[in-house]
Amino acid sequence: MLADGGDALCDLRALRDRGVLFGAVASDATAWRVIDAIAEHGLLDALRAARATARERAWALGARPEGPLVIDIDATLVTAHSDKDGAAGTYKGGFGFRPLLAYLDGPSQAAAGQPLAGMLRAGNAGANHAGDHVALLADALGQLPRQVVEDAELVLRADSAGATHELLGCCRDARIRFLVGYDLTQPVRAAILALPENAWVPALDQDGRPRDNGQVAEITDRLDLTAWPPDTRVIVRRERPHPGAQLSFTDHDGHRFQAILTDQHARTSPPWNVSIAPAPASRTASAPPRTAAFRTCPSATLSPTPCGSSSSSSPKNSSSMPRPSRWTASSRAANPSACATDCCTAPAA
């Protein structure tokens, strides 16, 4: 029913009309009682455990995706057409819910689009609520096999709502690389405009070929990133908008800009997504290098620059840090020092 576009229990009628194909289908009342029982009797944890067990078994039998794994976190809007429990006004002027979802992605087609976890929230839930992101990341990690969580190259990817000190501090504690959107604040805009034209290099498509429209540059050494984890970088991309798109008055020279906050550096493996930066081989010269996950975001010639004043900090040796087998939000709370400013929002401009 869900695969066919259904979004309510009453859409089960589409299956009842195909009895030969689907067999007996529960009535709306029966289906409602099942869902209500799951919520009322605390069976959600049992469902999560069952999904995690099924995935672990399938991956052990050969279905495990190859290469690094990306956990995508993003919110979406679900419209409520009546006064549903927990529904509220949305930032777009609608009414409903704003669930936060986590999906699996990676260079392997087997990883693309696997749902890991979700959190139902009211329509007025905050976009950059760090606590929600941390809790959802913990649930998503709990859906992956133990050995994968401990050893695999993991990357968190999110829009600018994920650029919070608490979330990225959690990623650093758990040896998870991050790649999140970064607001175009006044210092970021000033750094972009100060770039010489030869600092921009062609962006790459998914096949590693230069794109016709799109260039990237690094502005790490032009910003103060001391509040973020050591070795954090800022990559910016510019491109011409598609025909008919409306530019804002802050767009410069007809370009649109996007800034990305990441701690990935290596450039040795083939590219597979132009929005993904690379995973570093190692954070110290003495540590054994880890397998590089991605190509530098996203150019063949862009090389890392010093990370501003934050480069003077001693980075953690990620190769020797054990990743917890079942990392949870509670383990993050036990280490408040990971949040550089004891704050859960991006630094003000």
Q: What is 95-138 written as a DSSP string?
A: EEE--EEEEEE-SSTTTTTEEEEEE--BTT--TT-HHHHHHHHH
Q: What is the pTM of this model?
A: 0.71
Owner of token pair 């990225």: 168
pLDDT digits (tens, 9 = 90+) for 269-309: 333 343 433 333 332 333 333 333 333 333 343 433 333 33
At 48 the three-state DSSP class reads helix
CB atoms within 10 A of CB 108: 14
The rounded distance, in Å, linking the Cα atoms of 29 and 345 is 44
Q: 3-state secondary structure string, 184-235?
A: CCHHHHHHHHCCCHHHCEEEECCCCCEEEEEEEEECHHHCCCCCCCCCCEEE
Residue 125, phi then psi, degrees to nearest 5: -65, 145
pLDDT digits (tens, 9 = 90+) for 156-208: 999 999 999 999 999 999 999 999 999 999 999 999 999 999 999 998 887 78
Pair of tokens at residue 149: 């969580």
Burial call 64-82: b when 16+ CB within 10 Å, e when fewer: bbebbbbbbbebeebebee
Beta strands 154-158 and 69-75, pairing class: parallel
The rounded distance, in Å, linking the Cα atoms of 291 and 271 is 14
Q: Consecutive 10-residue runs of the chain (349 residues): their mean pLDDT?
A: 74 83 87 86 86 93 88 93 89 93 85 88 92 95 91 92 94 93 93 92 84 90 93 92 73 84 64 37 32 33 35 34 42 35 34
Residue 85, phi then psi, degrees to nearest 5: -65, 125
